[in-house]
Amino acid sequence: KKLPNNAGPAAEALPEGVHFKLIGAVADHVCETLFVQDARVLAVTVKIVKLAIAEHGEQIGITLRRERR
């Protein structure tokens, strides 16, 4: 994924695509773990915001929603 237009200057230091591949994999893992652990879970929404590299209050991250298949 490309960085969103509002990602700001903090994200410019990251190699293109690396940032969102990593946090996307983490979000996907969280969803899959919840589905495996509890059959009652029908859908999961995970929002990951990276504040450590943010500048001037910007939010860099993703929101991932998955539903049980």
Return the sign of the alpha-carbon dihedral for residues 59, 19, 67, 37.
negative
pLDDT digits (tens, 9 = 90+) for 4-59: 544 555 555 556 656 567 778 889 999 999 999 999 999 999 998 876 666 777 77
The type of residue at 13 is A
The answer to whether the predicted template modeling score (pTM) of the entire model surpasses 0.75 is no
User: How does 30-53 read in b/e, with b if 16+ C-beta sit within 10 Å?
Assistant: ebeeebeeeeeeeebebebebeee
Beta-strand relationship, 43-50 and 60-67 = antiparallel
- Residue 1 clears pLDDT 50, i.e. is over it: no
